[in-house]
Amino acid sequence: MNQAVGRVAVVTGAARGIGQAIAVRLAEDGLAVAALDLDGAAAKATAERIIAAGGRASGIEADIADPDAVAAAIDIVNTELGLPAVLVNNAGVTRDNLLFKMTIEDWETVMGVHLRGAFLMTRAVQKYMVDAGWGRIVNLSSVSALGNRGQANYAAAKAGLQGFTRTLAIELGRFGITANAVAPGFIATDMTRATAERVGVPFDDYAAAAAERIPVGRPGRPEDIAHVVSFFASEGAGFVSGQIVYAAGGPSN
């Protein structure tokens, strides 16, 4: 039996893209889902989609880099759905620039959402997982953790999340909590659309060029990443912890 069924999952950045696909997939797996996002209206739309399909969900507006907003959001999760047992730190932003043009704001914005945000969210929910003796934490890293031109800030944050993941696995394992990360390659979302726009290439051409470099011959879909998260969140994955799975349609570089 999948003991994850009926538990409460919190997914950040669930208004669109990969986070939305993760929220929908975990709901299909039988979990109640709190969809958190800066964009409260779109987060609520994700929740409504889940409810329309027969699931339990709540859409909550929150800036995960703000400790007060995180505390308030978790209070709403507790009241509306129950105590969180699964956390997916998915929310992300890019502020790409070559190093010599990168501003302190570009750096701090990216660190603030990915690292500070994942830290604040994880610190806020871990106590419920510890009390329950069961928990699943999944962080979104990226192939960019291995280094990517124009992404010194983002690559550092995504590599940082890998160290964070391994450390959570070590500290929290004895409480029945696993922590893992998925590191996607090229996934067609608004984030990669924005990158194509920035470099001045039509998105279809940009995606086709990416597909040529991907061994399975296609860009990734948000559902490809949701599938990996579903595995990490499942009851049966309880002996898998501190792992980074590169989901990139082939070996990462």
Q: With respect to ligand NAI, which residue has the nearer C-beta, 7 or 16? A: 16
Q: Which of 55, 84, 92, 160 binds ligand NAI (CB under 6 A)?
A: 92
SS3 letters across 69-109: HHHHHHHHHHHHCCCEEEEEECCCCCCCECHHHCCHHHHHH
CB nearer to ligand NAI: pick between 171 and 190: 190
- Looking at beta carbons only, is 19 or 135 nearer to ligand NAI? 19
Identify the residue among 190, 197, 204, 205 touching ligand NAI (CB under 6 A).
Answer: 190
Q: Interface with ligand NAI includes 29 (CB under 6 A)?
A: no
Give me the amino acid identity at 40. Answer: G
Length of the chain counted residue by residue: 253
Kindly state whether residue 12 participates in binding ligand NAI, applying the rule CB under 6 A: yes
**37: buried, middle or exposed (CB in 10 Å: 19+, 13-18, 0-12)?**
buried
CB 72 within 8 A of CB 49: no
Whether the CB-CB separation of 216 and 250 falls below 8 Å is answered with yes
Binding flag, residue 58, ligand NAI (CB under 6 A): no
| Closer residue to ligand NAI, CB minimum distance, 130 or 201 | 201
Would you tell me how many other CB atoms lie within 10 Å of the CB of residue 104? Answer: 7
Direct distance between the N- and C-terminal alpha carbons of the chain, in angstroms, rounded to an integer: 37
119 touches ligand NAI (CB under 6 A) = no
Q: Which of 93, 97, 92 is nearest to 198 (CA)?
A: 97
**Identified catalytic residue from 128, 154, 206, 246:** 154
Site residues for ligand NAI, 162-181, by CB under 6 A, read none
Is residue 16 involved in binding ligand NAI (CB under 6 A)? yes
Residues contacting ligand NAI: total by CB under 6 A: 29
The C-alpha atoms of residue 150 and residue 183 are separated, in whole angstroms, by: 18
The question of whether 154 is a catalytic residue gets the answer: yes
Question: Which residues in this chain contact ligand NAI in the complex, by CB under 6 A?
Answer: 12-13, 15-19, 37-39, 62-65, 90-93, 113, 117, 140, 142, 184, 186-187, 189-192
Catalytic residue annotation: 154
